[in-house]
Amino acid sequence: MTIFITCPVESVERATAFYTALGWHRNDEMSGPDASCFAIAPEQYIMLGSRAMYASVGATEDLIGGPETPSKVTVSFDLDSQEAVDELIERAGAAGGRIGDTDDYPFMYQRQFDDLDGYHYSPFCMKPTVDAGVDSGVDTAS
């Protein structure tokens, strides 16, 4: 299954610079002056479109918010390590993103950031199980 998450943005050029600063690569074949497409994992894409382009898709006018509008979704994705999560968060902050909370659970490490248009991301990494008897805080009894 291929997944595209499409986000209307204030400026495609500004959004492209932000996502490039994260270290993500623009797919030039699926991008143009009104949209930039970034592959974030195999078969998973973030499509950043101008507000005009996004609105032209049909019946989306009420869905187009702005940087001051709370995010309607959180995009969560796993990375290989806590260091990879921290590095992405550092790049997001350096590129002007708003850095949010850090959650360090026994089973998972997770951080938060918002991009320049207010979209909310939550990269995480699962922690290796050191001891099968460790309580993860999740009830697995049936």
Q: Could you state, in order of their start, the residue ranges of all structural domains in the chain?
A: 3-126
Could you say which DSSP state residue 97 is in? P
CA distances from 8 to 56, 96, 109, 122 (A): 11, 18, 29, 19
For the domain made up of 3-126, the CATH class stated in words is alpha beta
Q: pLDDT (tens digit, 9 = 90+) per residue, 31-78?
A: 999 999 999 888 889 989 888 877 766 545 555 666 676 556 778 889
Whole-prediction pTM: 0.71
